[in-house]
Amino acid sequence: MMENQLVLRRRQLTALLLAMIVGLFLFEPWSLFSKPIWEQEPSSESIAKGEQIFAANCAVCHGEKAVGENLQRPLGGMKDQGGYLAPALNGTGHAWHHPDEVLFRIIHEGSIAEDSPMRGFAGKLSDSEIVASIHYFKSLWPKEILNRHTEMVQH
């Protein structure tokens, strides 16, 4: 009788272990191997989608083609009457100094500066739309800037 209980207990534990393993691979296999969304490689489709998203959501502050609010001050900065100038995102400003994760988080959550007009778009844009907008404005960066950004992020 004791031997039957041991066999039954082993079968139950084996079945539980197998169910856990199967569950792991059925429900979350990609999370073990996938990159964060901001590390997705740009494609012509994501850049085109990003251009539309940028025009509808970002250009009002950052300008058409991401030239910034003031062409003479692509880095942004303070306005004479107070507040902040929206910086250029086309490679002439400071955006390329930031890893893609930081760019994603600023767009997603907004600026850390309390008095900045840059508010997060998490409730308005999906994560993939935010990434597409990053792909778009990075497509405007000169090759040298894009290479420097890539080198900076890899180190």
CATH code: domain of residue 107: 1.10.760.10
- pLDDT for 19 equals 74
CA distance 34 to 45: 20
- pLDDT for 141 equals 97
Q: What are the residues facing 78 on neighbouring strands?
A: 84
Q: Are residues 76 and 148 in the same domain?
A: yes
Number of domains in the chain: 2
- pLDDT for 28 equals 57
Q: Are residues 63 and 46 in the same domain?
A: yes
- pLDDT for 4 equals 76
Phi-psi region at 63: left, alpha or beta (left = phi > 0; alpha = psi -120 to 50): left
Q: Are residues 16 and 89 in the same domain?
A: no
Q: Which domain holds residue 19?
A: 1-34
pLDDT per residue, tens digit, the chain (155 aa), is 667 777 777 888 787 777 777 776 666 555 556 788 888 999 999 999 999 999 999 999 999 999 999 999 999 988 888 889 999 999 999 999 999 999 999 999 999 888 889 999 999 999 999 999 999 999 999 999 999 999 987 86
- pLDDT for 65 equals 96
Q: Are residues 29 and 103 in the same domain?
A: no
Tokens encoding 35? 């990159």
Contacts of 90 (CB under 8 A, 6+ apart): 65, 66, 67, 68, 74, 137, 140, 141
- pLDDT for 29 equals 56
